[in-house]
Structure 1
Amino acid sequence: MSSIPSALTRRRLLTGAAALSVLPACAARIPSSAAPAAEREIGGVPMSQIVDGYGLIEDAGYRLPPVPPKYLTGLNRRAYVPYGGYESAGTIEADLHAKLLYWIEPGGMAWRFPVGVGRQGLSMSYDTTIKRKEKWPSWTPTQNMIRREPEIYGEYAGGVPGGLANPLGARALYLYQGNRDTYYRIHGTNDLASIGNSGSAGCIRMFNHDAIFLFPKVPLGTRVVIRDYADSVAIEGEAVANRGRELPPTYVPPEELYAAAEASGPPQFGEATSIESFGY
């Protein structure tokens, strides 16, 4: 009698072992129609779609998400190109008609950046000099901006601290005539759709990624030249000289801006990709 439980036990063990032995073969027969694993995204952009030079950046404790590729089509991305204008190396030339900005380098080459231009920027017609540079600058709307569009700027009269929510973005270059601040800026922006277009306000806007790239290249005292329409047509062609469209005002409630600023804490280890890996 004592041998019966032993035999049953052995039978159960053998049966169980046999079942286990076939599991790998069954598991290997995955239907060909099975959905592939979802691709990892960073800031809502699939890894395979991140454009070189516009990926996730860690900077001064802030995390800039990748620029979605839909904003980086055609002329709307940084490029190192032969320079076709008339200015000398070490100059910034802004073509506010074509929505392009050039940092001119020796040897007939230049870095070309797409920009967005507000109504204020479109009124620029004179040369200026960069006499101040700031990383993650704070911003306060001018009295003219508040007077002209109080429904948009009135609530920000006290200023917005530097950070991801700030309208000046990650970098700002301040333009002067002599010792007079013109209140025009070349700066970063979070309004990605404004790049390549005309906005309701603001000066000369760049993708934050481009503003970070340009910033260390430009020393204080750099001359900023505004290209006129005739030269824009002659150099870029009529179609490019008239590219972009007028965009309606963009309004973000102050509480959203300040909440975003508070939420933009230091990078998490292993989460971000360094600037260098994107060719900076």
Structure 2
Amino acid sequence: MPIEDVRLTRRSFLSASATATLFLAGCTTTPPVKTPEVVAVKPALPRGPVSDAELALRYAAVEDSGHLIPAIPYQQMDSKFFRQRVVDPTGERPGTVVVDTSTRFLYLTEPGGTAMRYGVGIGRDGFSWQGEGIIHWRQPWPRWKPPADMIKRRPDLEKYSVENGGMAPGIKNPLGARALYIFQNKQDTLYRLHGTPEWRSIGKAVSSGCVRLINQDVLDLYKRVPHHARIVVRHTPLPAVQEVAGA
């Protein structure tokens, strides 16, 4: 075969191969999948105190479902009870709610070693609960229905009993803007995480056993906490923690 013919044949083969490659590439609908690199998430670095502008926005008046929640005079509160993100001291898996009654803090654990921390009010001596359970039910603007033993102590609350339909939702309702109901062994413990209009009660032991948060804080917690989250209520203090960026 003449050299020219050999070159022509080889050129035709390469051209045909290139055309076939382009054709096949054009039919490809799924590109090769690159396995993503797994990067460990580290807690955010500590930062300074939250500014007044941030606090004013965080605790400003807010309208929710037709109810006007008043602004919180945060300047009159102990700043340690402000909502803030901290390094997680609990050792619990992400999505767990931990209430430390001794320090009056509630933690919602997060991935990456951080937790949202909220100041809370707790039950008086003799009316506090501890243990583990599940947040089985969640309710915005709940009706308040005091249990029978509370009505025995306070007969004036009979008008709000279960039989009478409870107290209507509203800013004066003791359960506030949101309620998270704690169950244990599939039974209602009658203890709640709930909002309160009584901001002065945060950091104190004044309620009949339930854990109360400022209404602005319970709105924030309600958005973050997973459905059927595990909850741990403990009376022994957790280690001191650092605040981290972002709340």
- The TM-score normalised by the length of structure 1 is 0.62
Rg comparison, structure with higher value: 2
Q: Match of 1:156?
A: 160
Q: Aligned pair in 2 of structure 1 residues 176, 48: CA closer, same or farther (>3 Å)?
A: closer
Q: CA, structure 1 residues 135+200, in 2 after alignment: closer, same or farther (shift >3 Å)?
A: closer
Counterpart Cα distance in 2 of 1:103 and 1:91: 6
The partner residue of 1:207 within 195, 214, 228 is 214
Separation of aligned partners in 1, 2:195 and 2:159: 21
> Equivalent pairs: percent with the same residue?
38
Partner of 2:193: 186
The answer on whether the counterparts of 1:119 and 1:203 sit within 8 Å (CA) in structure 2 is no
Kindly provide the CA deviation profile for residues 29-78 of structure 1, in whole angstroms up to 9, marking residues without a partner as x: xxxxxxxxxxxxxxxxxx98962310011111111111012443321210
For the Cα contact (< 8 Å) 2:77–2:200, is it kept in 1? Answer: no
**Contact 2:122–2:128 at 8 Å: present in 1 too?**
no
Deviations 1:117-169 (A, max 9, x none): 02389531210101100000001100011112335x34433310111121100
The 2-side partners of 1:202 and 1:108 are apart by 30
* Contact 1:171–1:188 (Cα < 8 Å) also in 2: yes
Alignment match, 1:110 = 115
Seen in structure 2, the aligned counterparts of structure 1 residues 96 and 114 have a Cα distance that, compared at 3 Å, is same
**SS state at 1:112 partner:** strand
Equivalent position SS for 2:239:
helix
1:68 aligns with 2:73: yes
Q: Name the CA distance, whole Å, in 1 between partners of 2:137 and 2:228.
A: 9
Q: Report the equivalent of 1:44.
A: none
Residues 1:135 and 2:140 aligned together = yes
Question: Of the candidates 233, 236, 239, which is equivalent to residue 235 of structure 1?
Answer: 239
Structure 2 CA distance for partners of 1:120 and 1:228, relative to 1, 3 Å: closer
Instruction: Decide which structure has greater helix share.
Output: 1
Equivalent residues of 1:82, 1:108 under 8 A apart:
yes
Q: Which runs of 5+ in 1 are unaligned?
A: 1-46, 238-278
Shift of 1:219: 2.2
Shift in Å, 1:101:
0.1
Pairwise CA distance, 1:84: 1.6
Report the aligned-residue RMSD.
2.4
Aligned-partner residue type, residue 235 of structure 1: P
Q: Which runs of 5+ in 2 are unaligned?
A: 1-51
